[in-house]
Structure 1
Amino acid sequence: MADIRTYNVVVLGIGFLFIFTAFTTCGNIEQTVVKSLNSTNFTGSGYHSLGIIYGVFSFCNMLAPTIVAIIGPQFTMFFSGILYSGYIAVFIIPSTWSFYFTSVLIGIGAAMLWTAQGHFLVENSDASTINRNTGLFWALLQCSMLFGNLYVYFDWKGKTEISDKDRKIMFTALLVISAIGTLSFLALRKVFQLEEALTEEEGQSLLSTRLIYTQRATSAVTEAKTEFRLELSFYSGVYGTCIGATTHFGDAAKGLIGISGIVVGIGEIIGGGLFGLILKNNRFRRTSVVFLGMVVHFVAFYLIFLNIPNDAPVVFQTSSQHNPYLTPSVSIALLCSFLLGLGDSCFNTQLYSILGRAYAEQSAPAFAIFKFIQSIFAAVAFFYSGYILLTWQLLVMVIMGFIGTLCFFMVERMQNMSADTQEY
């Protein structure tokens, strides 16, 4: 049984690795690609597309648990992977209507994919393995930041504009990669769980205790994730665009988008391995890791504020016009990429861990609510990212970062109180 579960977690991580090698690379470069399109008939915005994706994602989370329950997590993920592949394919021969239409479809697919993923991960874990499995899955998933971005660096280095040929080669390769990841979900195996029988009195006592803490924790955990999703929107779609638009980096700017994505991925992998695999279960560990993530991100935001031009994310400009406080440094820019990835892994490994423990028996609805809240804020972030100066975006994330960390501490405290109550 344990071998099958470990096998499933590894295959799950590999499937997500391939799909998000394609999608993460796409999200990292799509605004830059859109700016370079030669067709005057194309009027789409990469920021708006990502905003639509996460907006649809948020509302479709309400239906996702029902779909997962009907067709099962395996085939839900397979169908969702097809929708992800369709979005990638649009960039080969882009048009405005298909660009936004597939943005809606991938939002639907994302809701189903992540709800099914959370349910499947919890189904293949128990209290003693949830941290390990979360870390293993997260490390495999974040390897997706490496390969596509590495190709972007070598192929786009020294280019100021992205040609039609470059775009078609890039997205054809990403489409094939996404299709491989989708097919890998068919290799997952069913796990039959044996549930312990409880007496009626024990069951009622356990249920009432869970209800009390579940109601309180649901609100706080979703608030905690609000800021973390704003930061994901920033590093996955905005920061790479900022680097590519920084004129101080010269002809290397476009290639640096790929290197930045790789370095973010390295930070994610190191964090996932360290906080999910190496460190063992510890009751007070999660709050320490989340606090570390907040500090790491605050350092990254301050360095970005000093190093990147304030108008770099503005959607209607192809290059920055403002001068930052420091002369832009590639080393500092890439250090910030690493810190963004490391901090994000601190948050996500602990959020998945606490959700897996608190909602082991209601994992699909819990992950659906979790994704519903975070995707709303991701959609808002992508819509305003192309119009608000960098300083204000960083300020919003600092404020929400502090609030989100406090909310996580509240959830952890409730979970500990719930555990203490159940012991008696």
Structure 2
Amino acid sequence: MEFGFTQADEDFRIEARAWLAEHAEEATDRRSWERRLGAAGWIGLGWPQAGYGNRTATLTQQVAWAEEYARSGAPPRSGHIGENLLAPTLIAHGTDEQKARFLPPIAAGEELWCQGYSEPGAGSDLAGVRTAAVPRPDGRTFSVTGQKIWTSLAHEADWCFVLARTEPGSVRHHGLTFLLVPMDQPGRIEVRPIRQMTGTSDFNEVFFDGAHAEQAVGGVGDGWRVAMSLLGFERGVSTLAQQIGFARELETVVRTAVQTGAARDPVVRERLVRQWAELRTMRWHALRTLGGSGDPGAPSVAKLLWAGWHQRLGELAVLVRGAAASAGPADWSASSPYRLDAAQHLFLFTRADTIYGGSDQIQRTIIAERVLGLPREPKGAV
């Protein structure tokens, strides 16, 4: 397999780098930054056609953009879920009317999305969702009642795509529908932030009480197929940009190890070298996957690789700090806001890496059943 960058790709990279260098510091908040990206056509590069206000780009050019974005220090993206998850799903399964309604605002950075999949009793076991949707008299819209949890960016989102049960009495993956729900419904939708160990609230609980759902993507009752298709888009080009961020974090840990003297310990040195080597391995795996390996287990392998790697990096970040890693900032006081330095935040946040986005156990089950052909795990087994 050959995966290289042509001169046209490098020219594209130079253009992206120059644009980011000029505009990244202009970002005052994440929503206005999305609009600026959209106005320049940088949202939707991976969509198969233009016409929605987006540019189009080859796969290697998408990789170049993602890497340059990560290197630029530009703000974290708020539009990732709409651009990289919902949009490809609409392109694959949506009607012409749905594409015309939702793709242009995503490309313009005007409408932000969140994902309504996990529930308190249906996280990794997504087929166990209980959120119900009842058809309204018009026969086209639905009334949604239930709860979703771990909903990233729900507090900022304009819309939520929701996997709901539309057939009473149905079980598992039967009777589910993929619905599009506007979030601005006071009294019908409540968003409650979930406070994490880091003191931040990136995730939320979302409660639906007769909320209005306007669209069903892929048809009523076909939600499982659409939902699984969406998950196939979840780990693509963005993983390479993620690895640029990982590399910066690793550089900081190595620099700290040298400054504190921890690097003189041969065991610490071996762990740092292993982190570097594994990060290179992850990059080549990602490139191989993007190059069309056809391996159905590749996304699960990628998740297992980076989640464990990042968690071990968090452990190293506090290890090389020594006792200082247990202390608060020098200017901390009991009346100050809850604050962590970068190493402490990395350690605490990465404790969840092997759980969210599909736990390690789920990824191993997928590989065992879909790639190795091993017997399926009995449902309901402890």
Shorter-chain TM band: 0.3 to 0.5
The normalised TM-score by structure 1 is 0.31
Greater per-residue strand proportion: 2
The normalised TM-score by structure 2 is 0.33
Greater per-residue helix proportion: 1
